[in-house]
Amino acid sequence: MRYDTIIIGGSFAGLSAALYLGRASRSVCVLDTRAPRNRFASASHGVFAQDGSDPMTMLATMRAQVAAYPTVRFVDEAAVGAVHENNAFSVTLTKGEVVSGTTLLLAFGITDILPDLPGVAERWGKSVIHCPYCHGYEFNGKRLGVLNLSPMSVHQASLIPEWGPTTFFLNGGAIEQDAAADLVRRGVTIEPAPIERLVGEDAAPFAIRLSNGNEQPLDALFIGPPYRFSSDIAEQLGCAIKAGQLGPCVTVDEMKATNVAGVFAAGDITRSGHTVTFACADGVMAALAIHRSLIF
């Protein structure tokens, strides 16, 4: 069977696109690894009518609603290869099946590259967090830290004091004098010592153990880790890719079309700002563009 659209990625962007295409009675195959980026978080915030909901529960509800449309099929496998031949896209799955589609939507998301610092991974999405707009309110007025990972960390450190008293952990790194002065004016404490590990039994509170033996208690640590694409399909197809603030972005136009005819992209892989709301909106826009491309 040749589908109207193959969607690589079954998270918020991919499901939003599948919903709109299903409602247009178009045949859709959604490839879903069931490993969304925000699976580490217990709650998603800033989404109308879903504020504070478990993101995995949200996705399960969305998937069930999309699956009710008879023209939508789900396959719980990753795409490992994609080629354009005979006016169609052939996508090879992990178990060897090949599915064919007239158009292709890339919505496979990104994978955060966490720092190799003991105690970070087990707290990721709980008390080691990235976005203050998504999770800052829950730590409002508490002891906050920012980990120095890149030049963007200075900007992050200047923003976090909006939510509480903030320490910027240089972790043995350097900071320009003017940037340090700006942070001090914002009330930020700068800690230059390298970090040994995060200690404590629970997600929060915990403590930062420094190389000098001192420990500083915290309720939340904000980090801005780099990221990579969760799939290399965009590169395989020759999609234009540009450098974002912390990782790559697939280049798309206002209708979410890539430079490769018939290939669209949506969600975190297309932007530097990452929220559930953005992802859903991107998926809807991509679906509208795909539907029009199929008609005209």
pTM for the predicted model, two decimal places:
0.96
Reported confidence tier of residue 203, pLDDT bands at 50, 70, 90 = confident
Range(s) of the chain covered by CATH 3.50.50.60: 2-112+226-295, 121-222
pLDDT at 182 over 90: yes
Which tokens go with 73? 């099929």
Which tokens go with 186? 């914002």
Reported confidence tier of residue 204, pLDDT bands at 50, 70, 90 = confident
| Span 194-200, average pLDDT | 96
Q: How far apart are CA 93 and CA 78, in angstroms?
A: 6
pLDDT digits (tens, 9 = 90+) for 278-294: 999 999 999 999 999 99
pLDDT digits (tens, 9 = 90+) for 241-256: 999 999 999 999 999 9
Q: Which fold has domain 121-222?
A: FAD/NAD(P)-binding domain (3.50.50)
| Span 54-77, average pLDDT | 98
Q: What is the pLDDT of residue 201?
A: 78
pLDDT digits (tens, 9 = 90+) for 77-134: 999 999 998 899 999 999 999 999 999 999 999 999 999 999 999 999 999 999 999 9
CB 46 within 8 A of CB 55: no
Q: How far apart are CA 67 and CA 130, in angstroms?
A: 32
To 10 degrees, the CA torsion angle through 262, 25, 76, 44? 90
pLDDT at 210 over 80: yes
Q: What is the pLDDT of residue 97?
A: 96
Taking the alpha carbons of 109, 162, 164, 54 in that order, is the dihedral positive or negative? negative
Q: What percent of the chain stands above pLDDT 90?
A: 96
Distances (CA, A) of 127 to 42, 202, 265: 11, 9, 31
The CATH number for 2-112+226-295, chosen from 3.40.640.10, 3.50.50.60, 3.30.70.100, 3.40.50.10950, is 3.50.50.60
